[in-house]
Amino acid sequence: MTFPKDGKREVRATLEQHGLSPNKKLGQNFLVDPALLDAIPGDAGVQAGDRVLEVGPGLGGLTRRLLGAGARVLAVEIDHGFVRLLRESLASELNSGALGLVEGDVLASGESLHPEVEDWWKAGPPPRLVANLPYSVSGPFLGRLPGRSLAGAVLLLQREVARKAAAGVGEEGYGPLSIRLALRFSVSLGRKVPADVFWPRPKVESGFLHLNPLGDEKDVEEGILREVLRDAFGQRRKRLLPRLEKSFPEAARRMRELGIPDDARPETVAPSVWWEAAKAVRIPSS
Ligand code: SAM
């Protein structure tokens, strides 16, 4: 089988030929703009030999570019029809070991990723993440990244989710996700992408999100930080510190020491203060 061509007409024809059709629930909006697809590996800084995780390869348009840039790719696809198609169209890359293909949900329970992805992640140097993320997965996937070693990420997603991930203190959308990401990565919005680079056209705006590791590993237990933030942002109508004191007294005390008033709104507190607060929490020994 030759590789399916990009372009709206070609993508539609390939799907028809294989008895497939886009599934809205799985966020199947395919990239059909060859120029954009060609640019992504370079924008993501992919170098020959890099390990790259791609979530949702679909027809493999981006996968093929990543392999063309010399990356060793692990692609995770939930839709059996696409996995079947990729096994045929990328058979030689699968045989050579340049490509690994996992069939299943990239998200596992709790804060985990698919077990095969977890094993792959630990089995080599920090990977890059490059993907046109399915909308339903974007938020939970981003939430699983802080605390993992990562060479960098360039992700195409719903512009609103990208804005939320990159929001600074006081900006709309600033919250647990942006705080946790900001403590580990330099997070920035990349370019906006018009709807007609996809087929079918999504109803929402899309854009790139870039994550680059900060380098200075923050010595805070990710699970504690997540719980402190959940508590603080969960009941915003109550006064912040008296409420936080009930579940995390050391965190509330540290915030007072840092000059945070009792009735501060959690969205006005900087990431570095949340970090100090979480670091102060004593983990009960079992
Ligand atoms: N990479 C292709 C492209 O750019 O044209 C397809 C991207 S499409 C936005 C999202 C892909 O993610 C689809 O192929 C879909 O089946 C897959 N997908 C959706 N949910 C998933 C999940 N939970 N785990 C893994 N793949 C998923």
Q: What is the 3-state secondary structure (H, E, C) of 50-117?
A: CEEEEECCCCCHHHHHHHHCCCEEEEEECCHHHHHHHHHHCHHHHHHCCEEEEECCCECCCCCECHHH
Q: For residue range 29-57, list pLDDT tens digits in order.
A: 999 999 999 999 999 999 999 999 999 99
Contact partners, residue 22, CB within 8 Å, separation at least 6: 15, 28, 29, 30, 199, 200
Contact partners, residue 95, CB within 8 Å, separation at least 6: none
37, 6 Cβ separation under 8 angstroms: yes
Distance, in Å, from the CA atom of 183 to the CA atom of 285, rounded to the nearest integer, reads: 26
Taking the centre of ligand 1 as the mean of its atom positions, its distance from the CA of residue 138, in whole angstroms, is 11
Once rounded to an integer, what is the mean pLDDT over residues 18-30?
94
In short, whether 4's Cβ falls inside 6 Å of ligand 1 is no
Model confidence at 5, pLDDT cuts 50, 70, 90, reads: low
Average per-residue pLDDT for the chain = 94
Distance, in Å, from the CA atom of 266 to the CA atom of 236, rounded to the nearest integer, reads: 8
Distance, in Å, from the CA atom of 151 to the CA atom of 213, rounded to the nearest integer, reads: 7
Whether 19 has a pLDDT exceeding 90, the answer reads: yes
- Tell me which residue has its CA closest to atom 3 in ligand 1: 30
Question: What pLDDT score was predicted for residue 219?
Answer: 73
Whether 220 has a pLDDT exceeding 90, the answer reads: no
90, 122 Cβ separation under 8 angstroms: no
pTM above 0.85, yes or no: yes
Distance, in Å, from the CA atom of 141 to the CA atom of 118, rounded to the nearest integer, reads: 13
Least confident of 19-28, 180-189, 208-217: 208-217
User: Both tokens of residue 47?
Assistant: 């170098």
* % of the chain at pLDDT higher than 70: 97
Model confidence at 238, pLDDT cuts 50, 70, 90, reads: confident
Q: For residue range 81-125, list pLDDT tens digits in order.
A: 999 999 999 999 999 999 999 999 999 999 999 999 999 999 999
Whether 158 has a pLDDT exceeding 90, the answer reads: yes
185, 213 Cβ separation under 8 angstroms: yes
Backbone angles phi, psi at 28, to 5 degrees: -85, 80
* Cα–Cα separations (whole angstroms), residue 14 to 6, 22, 171, 190: 10, 12, 43, 30
User: Both tokens of residue 214?
Assistant: 């900060």
In short, whether 93's Cβ falls inside 6 Å of ligand 1 is no
In short, whether 62's Cβ falls inside 6 Å of ligand 1 is yes
Domains of the chain and any CATH numbers? 8-213 (3.40.50.150), 222-280 (1.10.8.100)
In short, whether 78's Cβ falls inside 6 Å of ligand 1 is yes
Taking the centre of ligand 1 as the mean of its atom positions, its distance from the CA of residue 243, in whole angstroms, is 40
Question: What pLDDT score was predicted for residue 30?
Answer: 96
Ligand 1 nearest atom to the CA of residue 37, by list position:
4
Whether 61 has a pLDDT exceeding 80, the answer reads: yes
- Tell me which residue has its CA closest to atom 1 in ligand 1: 57
Once rounded to an integer, what is the mean pLDDT over residues 261-273?
95
- Tell me which residue has its CA closest to atom 20 in ligand 1: 26
Return the biggest CA–CA distance within the chain.
66
262, 242 Cβ separation under 8 angstroms: yes
In short, whether 29's Cβ falls inside 6 Å of ligand 1 is yes
* % of the chain at pLDDT higher than 90: 90
- Tell me which residue has its CA closest to atom 22 in ligand 1: 105
- Tell me which residue has its CA closest to atom 19 in ligand 1: 26
Model confidence at 215, pLDDT cuts 50, 70, 90, reads: confident
User: Both tokens of residue 60?
Assistant: 């493999």
Question: What pLDDT score was predicted for residue 74?
Answer: 98
Once rounded to an integer, what is the mean pLDDT over residues 157-180?
96
Sheet holding 51-55, edge to edge: 99-103, 72-77, 51-55, 128-132, 152-158, 206-213, 185-193
Question: What pLDDT score was predicted for residue 3?
Answer: 56
Q: Which residue has the higher pLDDT, 216 or 223?
A: 223
Contact partners, residue 87, CB within 8 Å, separation at least 6: 94, 101
Question: What pLDDT score was predicted for residue 6?
Answer: 75
Question: What pLDDT score was predicted for residue 231?
Answer: 95
